[in-house]
Amino acid sequence: MTRAPNGNPWVAVRPDEDIAALARTVSTAHRSFVDGERFSPVDRRNASASPVRPVVFDSWLRSRNRGVDPDGIDETGDMDVRELERYRDSHPMALIRPVVRKLLVEDAADTGLLVAISDAAGRLLWVEGDSSAKDRALAMNFVEGADWSEDRVGTNAPGTALAVDHCVQIFGAEHFSRTVHDWSCSAAPVHDPMSGQILGAIDITGGPRVAVPEVLALVRATVAAAESELRLHLLNSPRLLGDAPPRLAVLGSQRPTVVAGGDRIPLSRRHAEILLLLADHPEGLSSGQLAVLLDESELDSVTIRAEMSRLRKVFGAQGLGSRPYRLLTDLSSDVEEVRRALEQGDAAGALTAYRGPVLPGSVAPGIEDIRSQLRGRMQAALLRAGDRTLLARWTATVEGRHDTASWTAYLSSLDPQSPMYGQVRAGIDMLDGQLTR
């Protein structure tokens, strides 16, 4: 069976699609993938001819690379009742629970549906809805306090929505864990309206009809209402979610942005370089110092002044000082989030925040130094932790793909009899071959 062309890739079951036939096709693809058969469920040149959507296949790859067991649910790390109550009562997602209950939960009784609210890490804070469905969901540990991140249970709507920062549906056997194949789900992330950071996700879980476009539209509408409610709370109590300074995002291949006052502003590479360098030098930089950090051939002072003038129009003149050039406001960044996690010894948190190299296309000397230092600290923390799951995640990234030391550490963490041992061994041999050419 092939998929109807020109469909929404985030929707699992398209209008007029034969659900029974789709279930058989996806189940066959999942079995072939998990059992390691020579099978490519995705044709990226012709997605309509693929039995599995690219978003699902990519999630399967992440799940396998991170060592998720497709035949079980890992319940380690679940919160007990008392710990969960303390945690969620003070969580920002508690502010939107009344909206979610009004729009989704009140109509979920006797429908076989569950409505879940998670935090940004995928932990289920509240699971409400049909009582019989809640009882059945116990078998797959879909309960309050459980960790439903991709790292823990593999492909699932709330976990995958958080991983890719986008609404998504997961239908039946599209779940990586076989334990969840009787269920379907639709979820979308919720963002802080001021900083743009992910706060958590809203999810509807139930039978196959949960995977139709109308349900995803309902979840998205609920998220929009929830974020409006958060914005209203912030207008009345600006410090309710804590201070939200502008936030700079420069990690990974996506275009750099700064989020300020709830607006996400795209930046040119040069402007992102300047903001990151100024954030790293709170004492300020002269035009000459900034020029050296931006270009080895040393930009002239006229060019620097012109760039700063353009940046003030984007970032706001009140946020930038001169003589020396410096930030006049707090500026958080995804780079700083990784550094903070590393300083706290939280290798897992650092890896989650590390979405890729710092401004990968930049050749500015100051940026190359920041990029190299962050990557080196990231690698050192992972090698020191020696955690199999974290090493699997790292070696699946663009930077970790050619990191021989991390591949070797990953191999040493595996049982020589496990299926992954041979795959990792082959990866190391391939790297060794490339180095000796």
> Are the beta carbons of 207 and 184 closer than 8 angstroms?
yes
Instruction: Parse the chain into domains and list their residue ranges.
Output: 1-242, 245-385
What's the whole-number mean pLDDT along residues 315-334?
Answer: 86
2-11, 36-45, 248-257, range with greatest mean pLDDT: 248-257
Instruction: Please give the pLDDT value at position 424.
Output: 86
Per-residue pLDDT tens over the stretch 126-174: 999 999 999 999 999 999 999 999 989 999 999 999 999 999 999 999 9
What's the whole-number mean pLDDT along residues 412-423?
Answer: 86
> Are the beta carbons of 274 and 312 closer than 8 angstroms?
no
End-to-end CA distance of the chain: 43
Q: Predicted confidence band at 363 (pLDDT cuts at 50, 70, 90)?
A: very high
Residue 409: what residue type? A
* The pLDDT of residue 297 is above 60: yes
Instruction: Tell me the H-state helices in 48-204.
Output: 54-65, 81-89, 97-103, 131-137, 150-153, 157-164
Average pLDDT over the chain, rounded to an integer: 87
CA-to-CA distance for 371 and 365, rounded, in angstroms?
A: 10
Q: Predicted confidence band at 37 (pLDDT cuts at 50, 70, 90)?
A: low
Instruction: Please give the pLDDT value at position 48.
Output: 47
Q: Estimate to the nearest angstrom the gap between the alpha carbon of 324 and the chain centroid.
A: 37
Least confident of 126-135, 334-343, 422-431: 422-431
Q: Work out the percent of the chain whose per-residue pLDDT is above 90.
A: 51
User: Is 245-385 the same fold as 1-242?
Assistant: no
Instruction: Please give the pLDDT value at position 54.
Output: 93
Instruction: Please give the pLDDT value at position 436.
Output: 60
Instruction: Please give the pLDDT value at position 118.
Output: 95
Instruction: Please give the pLDDT value at position 193.
Output: 83
Q: Predicted confidence band at 242 (pLDDT cuts at 50, 70, 90)?
A: low
Predicted TM-score (pTM) of this structure:
0.58
CA-to-CA distance for 353 and 340, rounded, in angstroms?
A: 10
* The pLDDT of residue 237 is above 60: yes
Q: Predicted confidence band at 232 (pLDDT cuts at 50, 70, 90)?
A: confident
Per-residue pLDDT tens over the stretch 72-110: 877 766 777 888 888 888 888 999 999 999 999 887 777
What's the whole-number mean pLDDT along residues 14-24?
Answer: 91
* The pLDDT of residue 51 is above 60: yes
Evaluate whether the domain defined by 1-242 bears CATH number 2.40.50.140. Answer: no
CATH of domain 245-385: 1.10.10.10
The CA distances from residue 67 to 52, 194, 419, 421, in Å, are 21, 36, 11, 11
Higher-scoring residue by pLDDT: 242, 337: 337
* The pLDDT of residue 279 is above 90: yes
Instruction: Please give the pLDDT value at position 283.
Output: 92
Q: Predicted confidence band at 379 (pLDDT cuts at 50, 70, 90)?
A: very high
Q: Predicted confidence band at 423 (pLDDT cuts at 50, 70, 90)?
A: confident
Q: Predicted confidence band at 121 (pLDDT cuts at 50, 70, 90)?
A: confident
Q: Are strands 184-191 and 168-171 parallel, antiparallel or unpaired?
A: antiparallel
What's the whole-number mean pLDDT along residues 230-244?
Answer: 66
Instruction: Please give the pLDDT value at position 22.
Output: 94
What's the whole-number mean pLDDT along residues 327-356?
Answer: 89
Instruction: Please give the pLDDT value at position 89.
Output: 83
